[in-house]
Structure 1
Amino acid sequence: MLRFTASLSFLWLLMATSTMAQTWPAVLDADGQPLRSGVEYYVLPAATDTAGGLTLVNLNNGSICPLFVGQEPLAAVVSSGTTVIFTPRVTDTVIRETRDFTVAFTGFTICAQSTAWMVGEKNPETGRRYILAEMSPTPSSNAWHFNIVKNDQGLYNFQWCPNCLTGVCPKPLCGDAGIVVENERRLLVLDAMMRLISVLNLVCLLMATSCMAQGPPVLDTDGNPVTRGVEYYVNPAVTDVAGGLTLVTRNGSCPSYVGQVPIGPGIVRGLPVVFNPINPGDSIITENTQFTAAFSAASTCVRDTAWGIGEEDTETTRRLIVIGGGEPAIFGISRNQAPGPYTFGYCPPCNTPPPCGRPRCGIAGILEQNGTRFLTIDGPAFPFSFTRA
Structure 2
Amino acid sequence: MKTAIILLVLSAISFLPLAISGGLPPLIRLPTKADVPDNAILDTAGNPVVAGAKYYAIPALIGVEGGISVANPDTGNPSACPTDVVINVTLAGHQPPAVGLPLTFYPLKREAEASRSAAATDDDVIISQYPLNVAFDSPDPSDPCAKENVWKLNDETAIVTGGVIGVVKGDLGNWFRIQKNFNGKGYLFNWWPSLCLYCRIGYWHIGTVGGGYQLGINYRDESLYAFEFVKAG
TM-score normalised over the length of structure 2: 0.61
Distance (Å, rounded) in 1 between the aligned partners of 2:64 and 2:155: 25
Distance (Å, rounded) in 1 between the aligned partners of 2:151 and 2:160: 6
Which of 353, 363, 367 does residue 205 from structure 2 map onto? 363
Counterpart amino acid of residue 243 in structure 1: G
Q: Say whether the 8 Å CA contact 2:149–2:163 is kept in structure 1.
A: no
Match of 1:338 in 2: 183
Report the identity percentage: 28
Structure 1 residue 285 and structure 2 residue 126: aligned? Answer: yes
Match of 1:237 in 2: 60
Match of 2:96 in 1: 266
Distance (Å, rounded) in 2 between the aligned partners of 1:269 and 1:285: 24
Structure 1 residue 375 and structure 2 residue 218: aligned? Answer: no
Distance (Å, rounded) in 2 between the aligned partners of 1:350 and 1:288: 10
Distance (Å, rounded) in 2 between the aligned partners of 1:382 and 1:272: 17
Instruction: Name the stretch that deviates more: 234-243 or 290-299.
Output: 234-243
Q: Say whether the 8 Å CA contact 2:65–2:97 is kept in structure 1.
A: no
Q: Say whether the 8 Å CA contact 1:277–1:285 is kept in structure 2.
A: yes
Match of 2:74 in 1: 251
Distance (Å, rounded) in 2 between the aligned partners of 1:366 and 1:241: 16
1:250 Cα deviation after fit: 2.5
1:288 Cα deviation after fit: 3.6
- CA-to-aligned-CA distance 1:157-213 (integer Å, 9 cap, x gap): xxxxxxxxxxxxxxxxxxxxxxxxxxxxxxxxxxxxxxxxxxxxxxxxxxxxxxxx9
Match of 2:229 in 1: 386
Distance (Å, rounded) in 2 between the aligned partners of 1:261 and 1:277: 25
- CA-to-aligned-CA distance 1:266-305 (integer Å, 9 cap, x gap): 3423100001111236710111422111000156546231
Distance (Å, rounded) in 2 between the aligned partners of 1:302 and 1:233: 17
Match of 1:322 in 2: 160
Greater Cα radius of gyration, structure 1 or 2? 2
Higher helix share: 2
Aligned length: 165
1:262 Cα deviation after fit: 4.0
| Distance change >3 Å, CA 368–CA 262, structure 1 → 2 | farther
Higher strand share: 1
Distance (Å, rounded) in 2 between the aligned partners of 1:360 and 1:311: 19
| Distance change >3 Å, CA 273–CA 302, structure 1 → 2 | closer
Structure 1 residue 348 and structure 2 residue 186: aligned? Answer: no
Q: Which runs of 5+ in 2 are unaligned?
A: 1-35, 110-119
1:376 Cα deviation after fit: 0.9
| Distance change >3 Å, CA 302–CA 232, structure 1 → 2 | closer
Q: CA RMSD of the aligned region, Å? A: 2.9
Q: Which runs of 5+ in 1 are unaligned?
A: 1-212, 313-318
Counterpart amino acid of residue 101 in structure 2: L
Match of 1:275 in 2: 105
1:346 Cα deviation after fit: 0.9
Q: Say whether the 8 Å CA contact 1:214–1:289 is kept in structure 2.
A: no
Match of 1:296 in 2: 137
| Other structure's SS at 1:375 match | strand
1:239 Cα deviation after fit: 5.1
Counterpart amino acid of residue 347 in structure 1: W
Match of 1:201 in 2: none
Aligned runs of 1:90-129 on 2, under 5 Å?
none
Distance (Å, rounded) in 1 between the aligned partners of 2:181 and 2:148: 32
